[in-house]
Amino acid sequence: MSQLVLWRHARTDHNDEGRLQGSLDIPLDDDGRAQAAAAAARIVAHVGDHARVVSSPLSRASASADELSRLLGVETQVDEAFTQRPYGVWEGRTWDEVRERWPEDFERRHRGLEPRIDGWGASADVAARVGEGLRRWYDPETPTVVVSHGSAIQLGVLNLVGLDTESRVFGKIPHGAWHVLTLSDSGAWHVDAFALGAD
């Protein structure tokens, strides 16, 4: 049975500073590149030396993916379906700044609800986009590693397994970690492993 591996990109300096990135194209820093290289080696040990690698177009994801592609001897394929949700006017801000300027929307977000801010990517739209991309890239013969972002992965998994976008059953996936999903003969998706490789 083939596997679908969903890998969250390595850390950036914005992650270290607690800044929301969303659609901002923030590159990996030196520590992030080292984290990506270490995680890539662990993924190869898990999936073997024959797999496809697909990435979000944002450079923090594609640079992480390229570390894995180099080890596998393949080219990273890029698909817009796996880009991060936009965080609108919150992009580039810390959670402390968000809480100070948008207290009601901050509370809504931390209860798992949608904030009512300009430019926010609706969970239903992101889940449908990522879920469609995952179904399209799944190959029953060859493992596929998709390198994406925290919210995108969370919502894509919920879409595959048929759960509401407000569900928190899977929690958050750490940077550099990955989930493993399989598709059963019945057509049901299963989360076989959660947050592998987490530090």
Please give the chain's pLDDT, 199 residues, in tens. Answer: 799 999 999 999 999 999 999 999 999 999 999 999 999 999 999 999 999 999 999 999 999 999 999 999 999 999 999 999 999 999 999 999 999 999 999 999 988 899 999 999 999 999 999 999 999 999 999 999 999 999 999 999 999 999 999 998 988 899 999 999 999 999 999 999 999 998 6
Q: Are 110 and 89 in contact (CB under 8 A)?
A: no
Residue 144's pLDDT is 98
Helix, strand, coil fractions of the chain, as percent rounded to 5 = 45, 20, 40
H helix runs in the chain, sequence order: 13-17, 30-47, 59-72, 95-101, 103-110, 123-137, 150-161
Domain boundaries, given as residue ranges, for the chain: 4-86+121-196
Map residue 182 onto helix, strand or coil. Answer: strand
Q: Are 36 and 67 in contact (CB under 8 A)?
A: yes
Superfamily name with CATH number, domain 4-86+121-196 = Phosphoglycerate mutase-like (3.40.50.1240)
* pTM metric for this prediction: 0.96
Which residues touch 192 (CB under 8 Å, ≥6 apart)? 3, 180, 181, 182
Q: Are 120 and 97 in contact (CB under 8 A)?
A: no
Phi, psi of 165 (to 5 degrees): -65, -15
Gap between the Cα atoms of 27 and 25, Å rounded: 6
**Which residues on neighbouring strands pair with residue 179, listed in sequence order?**
6
Cα torsion at 101, 107, 110, 114 (round to 10°)?
-90
* Residue carrying the six token digits 């969903």: 6
Gap between the Cα atoms of 126 and 156, Å rounded: 8
Q: Are 147 and 54 in contact (CB under 8 A)?
A: yes
Structure tokens at 102: 């948008």
